[in-house]
Amino acid sequence: MNIACWSGPRNLSTALMYAFGARDDCGVWDEPFYAAYLTRTGIHHPMRDEIIAAGITDPAEVARRCAAPDPKGAAHYYLKLMTHHVLEGDSLDWAAQAAHVFLIRHPARVLASYAVKRENPDLTDIGFAQQSAVFEEVRARGWRYAVIDSVDIRRAPEPALRALCAAIDLPFDPAMLSWSAGGHRDDGVWASHWYDAVHRSTGFAGAEGPLPGVDPALRAVHDAALPHYQRMQAETLRIPA
């Protein structure tokens, strides 16, 4: 089974990839469309040249490989997909047979984390509108999906992952609750810039505290993102306390 996990940046997405990557039966692909996104948009991101050189820049080829089984022969193939890498007009036909996971996080938390790494993000950078669009298409086409909030994973990792696995018809594996420090062998080349905290981790961090304040300069971005989050949050998996 291929598992298409859709999230924006700074959503706990790398930690969740590590959880699936800790399973013996699951391969992972870290942000497969990243090089194609940078090539097509011309946008500047940290390590842009290195990412393009290391990745696949033809989105059709990426889609073909995302639809295929894990190239190393694992029974399951986890795709860590950034929703802002999906451009208007891109087809999702390649994902018809995948189980879809929507990993969401409150925009106040996303912006507080993202702004540390890259200044002045706009709504396009943080992927909420694109995630909402993919979500609506997956629902409309009747594909399997589950929505999970990162705050629930951090609050109760095992119940949350058990619920997520059940929702996508995947047996839970306790190996998902921990991993070795130092990163994953299939990390993208950009890991050295973005993954410092998760590289120091060996499991999910503890429960998050109250929502952080929003920088006044980012209030408009927060307010534009919030309805997209709330729409998906209404369908999140219910995790036992």
- As a whole number, mean pLDDT of residues 23-51 equals 96
DSSP structural state of residue 87: P
Query: How far lies 153's CA from each of 93, 113, 126, 156, 160, in Å?
Result: 29, 17, 20, 5, 5
Tokens of 139: 């629902």
Q: pLDDT-derived band of residue 116, with 50, 70 and 90 as boundaries?
A: confident
Domains present along the chain, CATH in parentheses: 2-233 (3.40.50.300)
- As a whole number, mean pLDDT of residues 23-45 equals 96
Grouping H, G, I as helix, E, B as strand and the rest as coil, residue 44 is coil
pLDDT digits 0-9 by tens, 157-204: 999 999 999 999 999 999 999 999 998 999 999 988 889 888 999 999
Element (H, E) at 111: helix 107-117
Q: pLDDT-derived band of residue 13, with 50, 70 and 90 as boundaries?
A: very high
The rounded distance, in Å, linking the Cα atoms of 127 and 149 is 15
DSSP structural state of residue 156: -
pTM for this one? 0.95
pLDDT digits 0-9 by tens, 199-234: 999 999 999 999 999 999 999 999 999 999 999 999
| pLDDT of 118 | 67
| pLDDT of 197 | 86
- Among all chains, which residue has been given the structure tokens 């540390």? 116
Secondary structure (DSSP) of 173-232 = -GGGG---TT--TT--TTHHHH-HHHHT-SS------SPPPPPGGGHHHHHHHHHHHHHH
pLDDT digits 0-9 by tens, 55-109: 999 999 999 999 999 999 999 999 999 999 999 899 999 999 999 999 999 999 9
pLDDT at 4 over 90: yes
Cα–chain-centroid distance for residue 228?
16
| pLDDT of 3 | 98
pLDDT digits 0-9 by tens, 118-154: 677 889 989 999 999 999 999 999 999 999 999 999 9
